[in-house]
Every structure is written in structure tokens, then in C-alpha cells.
């Protein structure tokens, strides 16, 4: 009977030690989970803040201002636009105005009748 009592006592002590180990592990995992949830919330807030900042930085006026000031870019106008043909020749966007006809000295230019 003493052997049985001793065996049962050893089983109870082993079971108690195993229970303590399991509870300790569970508490460690719970605290780790809580820490990771806090980190997740912090990262979500940071992501939201960065998205707002990104939208503020990418406004068309700001992009145009940076392009002009830092990159020395200018808005394309028809006067500075050149069109290139497939063969590589350049077509001016605006035809230059015709040169005025030269008149002889002392001659008066012809006027149209009304």
C-alpha cells in the first residue's frame, strides 16, 4: 500500500509541476499576444498618418511647384512643342509667320480698295 501511495504522490506532484509549466507558458504567450496587438495598433495608426501625409505631399500644386523650382521644368506650350515624324524629321508646332515683303526705297506699299 505504501508503494501505491508513493506512486500516487509522485503522479500528483508530476501533474502539479506540469500544470505550473503549462500555465507559465500560457501566460508568456498571452503577454506576447498582447504586446503584438499593441504593436499592430501602433503600426495601423502610423500607416494612416503616412497615407494622409502622402496625399498632402502629392497635391498637383505642390508637384508643379517642385517641378518648377527644383527640376527647372516649365509647362509645355504650343510655341515650344516639336512634333517628330517616324522618319526622324521635326515638324514645328506653330508655323512661323510669313516674312513681310520687302519694298523698294521710296515706294509705297499697295493698299486694298474699300
Domain tally, the chain: 1
Asked whether the predicted pLDDT for residue 9 surpasses 80, the reply is yes
Q: pLDDT band at 52, cuts 50/70/90?
A: very high
The answer to whether residue 112 is domain-embedded is: no
**pTM > 0.85: yes or no:** no
Dist. CA 21–CA 13, nearest whole Å: 12
- The pLDDT, as a whole number, for residue 75 is 83
The answer to whether residue 36 is domain-embedded is: yes
- The pLDDT, as a whole number, for residue 114 is 46
Provide, for the chain, the percentages of residues in helix, strand and coil under a 3-state DSSP scheme, each rounded to the nearest 5.
60, 5, 35
Dist. CA 10–CA 17, nearest whole Å: 10
The answer to whether residue 99 is domain-embedded is: no
Dist. CA 114–CA 102, nearest whole Å: 24
Q: Structural domain of residue 24, as residue ranges? A: 2-92
pLDDT digits (tens, 9 = 90+) for 62-102: 889 989 999 988 888 777 788 888 998 887 766 656 667 66
- The pLDDT, as a whole number, for residue 8 is 95
Dist. CA 78–CA 87, nearest whole Å: 22
The answer to whether residue 54 is domain-embedded is: yes
Amino acid at each position: 500500500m505504501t508503494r501505491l501511495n508513493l506512486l500516487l504522490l509522485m503522479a500528483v506532484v508530476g501533474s502539479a509541476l506540469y500544470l505550473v509549466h503549462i500555465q507559465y507558458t500560457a501566460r508568456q504567450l498571452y503577454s506576447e499576444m498582447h504586446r503584438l496587438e499593441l504593436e499592430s495598433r501602433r503600426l495601423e495608426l502610423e500607416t494612416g498618418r503616412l497615407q494622409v501625409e502622402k496625399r498632402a505631399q502629392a497635391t498637383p500644386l505642390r508637384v508643379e511647384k517642385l517641378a518648377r523650382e527644383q527640376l527647372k521644368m516649365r509647362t509645355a506650350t504650343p510655341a515650344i512643342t516639336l512634333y517628330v515624324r517616324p522618319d526622324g524629321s521635326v515638324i514645328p508646332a506653330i508655323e512661323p509667320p510669313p516674312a513681310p515683303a520687302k519694298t523698294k526705297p521710296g515706294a509705297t506699299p499697295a493698299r486694298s480698295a474699300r
